[in-house]
Each structure stands twice: as structure tokens, then as C-alpha cells.
Structure 1
Amino acid sequence: MNYDLEFGGETDKYEFFLQLAKKNPGHVLELACGTGLATLYLAERGVQISGVDIVEPMLAYARVKAKDLPVAFIEADARTFESDQRFSMIFLTGNAFQAFLSDEDQQALLQTAYNHLEPGGIFAFEMRNPDGNDLSDEEEEHWGTFVDVDGVTVKVSGSQTYDAEKQIMHWTTVRDWGHRQTTSRIACRFTDVQTLQQLLEKQGFTLENQYANWDQTPFQPSSPMVISVCKKG
């Protein structure tokens, strides 16, 4: 619930995927769907959709929120997920692509997407662009706040350390409730855009568009974010 309060409400992002799904009607799949923030937004607006994630507690909360919506939430690893269902569109968001930290992981994810798309199906995701972000090491600094389920304002701060050889950023996040603190750690790979294009082409995807943000501003080399929309060849 606190995850949703901290990271939810990105309507512009949900609308981007909703409009993409409407242009490619059929059954949609979100990989690494988490608590279903994007999945349920689309489902509530009539899109036939399923979600896959490896973290069962997040899926359990997604199912509670789904109520009577006809959404399937499936516990599985996006690298090894297998289904007989074929989808008109598959997407990841929340920079989830960057959670796949090795060449093998990225290739397995792309293989899953390719295998489960209908011919001509769409694959879409976003990631942070290494050429548009500061990858230098940073000591702990204030990142923001959110209000939790009990109405408490939680202060969020963090630090970052970048492993340039492996292209992996290590973030440490501290959440301070006043009476207690929690610490979490996450690692994300920063793949450069040229390498990404080669990965997609090698897997059989045709890159249709790349955007700098959710309003479909064209991507520039210095854009902090790159949103890729690909088609199965």
C-alpha cells in the first residue's frame, strides 16, 4: 500500500500505454507489473490485460485492488515465463528493463517478449538514458517525501554508487518515519541506446519509435529517459 502511495499516480505514463493498447487491440501483457498500477489502469478502461511479476506479495495486493475486474496476475520470472497465450502488446514500465543486469538477463527478457507476441505485436518499455543522467557517485541526499497509509509524512533520501565496468548503478534508499527508518537497496543497469538498438534488432524487433517522455516528444541523445516502441518482425 505504501509502495502505491510513493510511486503511484503517474497518469501520463498510464495514458501512454493505454493509447498504445487501443491502437493495437487484443490481449495485453505487462511484465514486472508489481502491484498492478499500470495494469489496473488499463483494465479499468476496457483493455483485456494480464500481469506477470516475480514478487507474490505485490501480486496479492494487485488482486485485492482488481476486485471483479477480469485480470489475471501470474507469479513468474519474466526471463523464463511461458504461456500458450499470444499478446497484441507487451510492456514493462517503472524502468523495469534496467533490473535485468546482465546480457543474458536482457536477452532472456527480450526472448520472452518476442515469443509471446502475435506477429506484428508491439513491445514497449522505458529506461534511463546513461548519456542523459549523472552517473557519478553521490553521498546521501534528500529525494522527496510521501504520505503513508497512516497519514505520516515519510522523508525519502538516498545515495548512489556506479560500477562503470558493469554499467550498474547501486542505489541505497532510506525512508524516515521519524520514529523508525528503513533501508532498501536496488541495482539498475544503464544500457546505452546504441547497444539497446542492437539488442532489439538481434532479437527480431523493429524499432518503431523512441520518445523522450510520455507526451511523445522525440528522443534526443541527451534526453534523461528513452521510451522504445518496437514491433515483432
Structure 2
Amino acid sequence: MIDHNNQEEYRDPMNYDLEFGGETDKYEFFLELAKQHPGHVLELACGTGLVALFLAERGIPITGVDIVEPMLAYARVKAKGLPVKFIEADARTFETDQRFSMIFLTGNAFQAFLSDEDQHALLQTVYNLLEPGGIFAFEMRNPDGTDLSDEEEEHWGTFTDMDGVTVNVSGNQKYDAGNQIMHWTTIRDWGHRQTTSRIACRFTDVQILQQLLEKQGFAVESQYANWDQTPFEPSSPMVISVCKKG
């Protein structure tokens, strides 16, 4: 299932970095994981390369794959001289002769795969491209720790754009319980103009997730509630899974 609305959120890569960059605790988590499993790393759904470039700057050889070319174009501008390459491809069908010691997704990108078929295709890609014993890591919002009720527009926060303008961010959410898909609409207000983007994310039950991973040949080694490796609990808002290829 492809939801082309999901790409609306990624049409302004420079301001995307200003709004979502700076999550150093997350970057350090993946850096330490990569150091523990030396080799070539792959990030799927890498966007503008916020995490990939953080790792590359610290000497980790890494490849980033994404389906949105404008995000990759900006990633390449930032990447000069670093041990990183960026490839436009669909994570469900991406193929290469390279094998990786670690593969990861972040930014809750796993939730952008909206059907059983999408999830299976993604996990098959990961399994095929990992070295024996390689590590797969990703995070997602935990449905049991998230308010999935419908909400009207409310203020979500602010950020400062590349021109120094404070942008007010608000939005609403509507949950499709039958398909376990949340639909968010985000409104960014510059004062003199507004943009609207839509995104859909699937909420997978953590127990079902674990069964899916095991069925695809992964052993779940650790699950955390946040980037400082606090153990996951059923009510945690987020679950970070670290898995090994069997």
C-alpha cells in the first residue's frame, strides 16, 4: 500500500532539518550500536541523512536509501567528503550486492509501511541484505502507550526556519481503527503563509510485531522505551527493537 500523501511532509528538506534535527540522544544510540557491530551500515528511509551523516562524520561507512529524491539531494549536499552514499530506492524492493553489519530505520519510519504486505517486503529486504548475525534496529510508537483518539486541531510546537522566522506548528489526528492507521494533518503557519501536509502511520501491536519479526527470521535481542536504553514496558509510548538475523 503506497500513500503518496506521506511524501508531503518531506517536500522542504532544509526546514525539515531545522524542525526535526538535533536529536543527539538518538544519533548516539545508533552510533554506539554501529561501533558494537563493525562493518558497513545501511539506513533505510534515511531522509536528509540526519543520522547517517552523524555516523559518517565519526568514521562509520554507511549507505542511505530513501524514496524521496529532494531529501536525498539535500543529504548529498551535506555529505561531501564523508564515507556515505545516498541511493533513491523503495525499501520494499531495494537490492544490492553489498551486505551490511547493521541496518536501521528511525523517525518511526517503520510505521510508514501501512499493510502486512509492506511490512513483510521491508523485513525481507532487511533480512536479505544483512550479513549472518547482523543487527536490525528501529523504533515505533507503541499503540498501548499512545492516545489514538481523534483530536481536533491543537498547537504542537514551534521551530525557527532557515530565514529566522518562528513557525507555529499545529495539527489534528484521526484514527482508522479497522486498519490501525493514524492520519495526521500538520499545519505550519509562518504568519504570512501556511502549509498543510498529511501523513499516515500504522500502529502495530508490540506482541504482533515480535511474532512478525520472528517469522521473518529475526531474534529480538532488546527492546527499549527510549534512547537511553530504559527497558520497554507495555505502557511505554515508544518501543525501540534491536534484532539479530538468525
Q: TM-score, normalised by structure 2?
A: 0.94
Helix, strand or coil at the partner of 2:91:
coil
* 1:185 and 2:198 matched: yes
2:44–2:104: 8 Å Cα contact kept in structure 1? Answer: yes
> Structure 2 matches for 1:93-172, cutoff 5 A?
93-172=106-185
The one-letter amino acid of 2:78's match is: K
Deviation at 1:68, TM superposition (A): 1.1
Write the mapping of 1:202-213 to structure 2, written as runs, cut at 5 A.
202-213=215-226
- SS of match in other structure, 1:174: strand
- State whether structure 2 residue 91 is matched by structure 1 residue 78: yes
Misfit runs of 4+, over 4 Å: none
Partner in structure 2 of residue 38 of structure 1:
51
How many Å separate the matches in 1 of 2:196 and 2:112?
18
Backbone CA RMSD of aligned residues = 0.3
1:8 Cα deviation after fit = 0.3
The Cα offsets for residues 42-96 of structure 1, whole Å up to 9 and x where unpaired, read as 0000101010000011000000001111211000000000000000000000000
Q: What do residues 158-182 of structure 1 show as CA deviations (whole Å, max 9, x unaligned)?
A: 0000000000000000000000000
Of 15, 20, 39, 1:7 maps to: 20
* 1:87 and 2:100 are equivalent in the alignment: yes
Structure 2: state its 5+ residue gaps: 1-13
> What fraction of aligned residue pairs are identical, expressed as a percent?
88
Q: Which residue is 1:19 aligned to?
A: 32
Q: 3-state SS of the aligned residue for 2:157?
A: strand
In the alignment, the residues of structure 2 paired with residue 84 and residue 68 of structure 1 have an alpha-carbon distance, to the nearest angstrom, of 23
Aligned to 1:176: 189
Identify unmatched segments of 5+ residues in structure 1.
none
Deviations 1:122-145 (A, max 9, x none): 000000000000000000000000
Distance in 2 (CA, whole Å) between partners of 1:71 and 1:44 is: 9
SS of 1:135's equivalent? coil
